[in-house]
Amino acid sequence: MSYQVKRTITTLVAGILILAAYCAYTFGKSLSGIVAPGDLKFWASSMLIFVAAGIVVIIVIQIIFHILFSIGIAIKQRDCDEKEIGRAIEASFVEDEMDKLIELKASRIGSILPGLGFVAALVALVGGSSLEVMLNIAFLSFFMGALVTSCVQLLYYRKSVPSE
Amino acid sequence: MNKDKIELSNNIRQLRFFAGEMTQAALAEKAGVSRQTIMAIEAGKYSPSLELAFAVADVFGIGIEEVFSHTVKNEAKGREDT
């Protein structure tokens, strides 16, 4: 498995964990009755906190993963000299045209979900759902879009990326 | 409307063999891409850009046409031209 694939898996797992944490925190509070129905401030502040925390967590995880991956390569090549180890580490971090194409195509597919989610949120509102439901549909669709992007990236790495 | 589809094939595996069993990693490093990209090109799963195709050909010191070849498939008629 290449660095790019492992990095995508790491991002995907981190995204799933953040999403699970958000659901557990907000819906847990909402279901237990701590949050009053219609308290949009709670939902908006929770979403903001989780967006910010999510970005920080993903950056930290990426840095830790980067360090661990480098250590892994260095251990594998422990018989070689320092220069060669450095070269091997550098070679595994190369991001080339295929990676960029995969990222581009995956994000194009992933960006469909937030759009659909927004429409679904509006439809839910028109259908008589509360503003909390609308906010959550919109927010979760953005999150799901990011997760789908990672999944599509993995799929393209596994199968192939269409060139046209 | 033109319905011709171009399918790329390559001789990278053979060329690596004749270059002293050059590894995919070594080729990748010389061409400035990842080993995964070389693997994908070799397996015909990814069509490289013209720049990368030239870079791969340059590694072997031969022309691009000796590394890559194409087959034109006419989807409407089902004929093949090389």
**What span, in angstroms and rounded, lies between the C-alpha atoms of B76 and A137?**
45
Q: What is the pLDDT of residue A140?
A: 93
How much is the pLDDT for B3? 67
What residues of A are in contact with residue B34 (Cβ under 8 Å)? 2-4, 91-92, 94-96, 98-99
Which among B34, B45, B47 is the nearest to A96, CB-wise?
A: B34
Specify the pLDDT at position A25.
92
d(CA B80, CA B74): 6
Q: What is the pLDDT of residue A163?
A: 65
User: Which architecture, in CATH terms, is B4-77?
Assistant: Orthogonal Bundle (1.10)
Distance (Å, rounded) from C-alpha A58 to C-alpha A36? 31
Name the minimum distance, in Å, from the CA of A81 to any CA of chain B.
Answer: 17
Q: How close A85 comes to chain B (CA, Å)?
A: 14
Interchain proximity B28–A92, CB inside 8 Å: no
Give the CA count within 13 Å in the CB-facing half-sphere of A76. 12
Enumerate the domain spans of chain B: 4-77
Interface contact flag, A95 B34, Cβ < 8 Å = yes
Q: What is the DSSP string of A75-97?
A: HHTTTS-HHHHHHHHHHHT---H
Sheet holding B4-10, edge to edge: B4-10, B68-74, B80-81
Q: What is the pLDDT along chain B (82 residues), one digit of tens a residue?
A: 556 777 888 999 999 999 898 999 899 989 989 888 999 999 888 889 999 999 999 999 999 999 998 888 776 655 555 5
Residue type (1 letter), B54 = F
Q: Convert the pLDDT of each residue in A134-144 to its tens digit.
A: 999 999 999 99
Q: How confident is the model at residue A103 (pLDDT cuts 50, 70, 90)?
A: very high
Question: What does the mean pLDDT of chain B come to?
Answer: 85
Q: Alpha-carbon distance A69 to A75, whole Å? A: 10
Q: Which two tokens stand for residue B15?
A: 């060329």
Q: What pLDDT band is residue A90 in, cutting at 50, 70 and 90?
A: confident
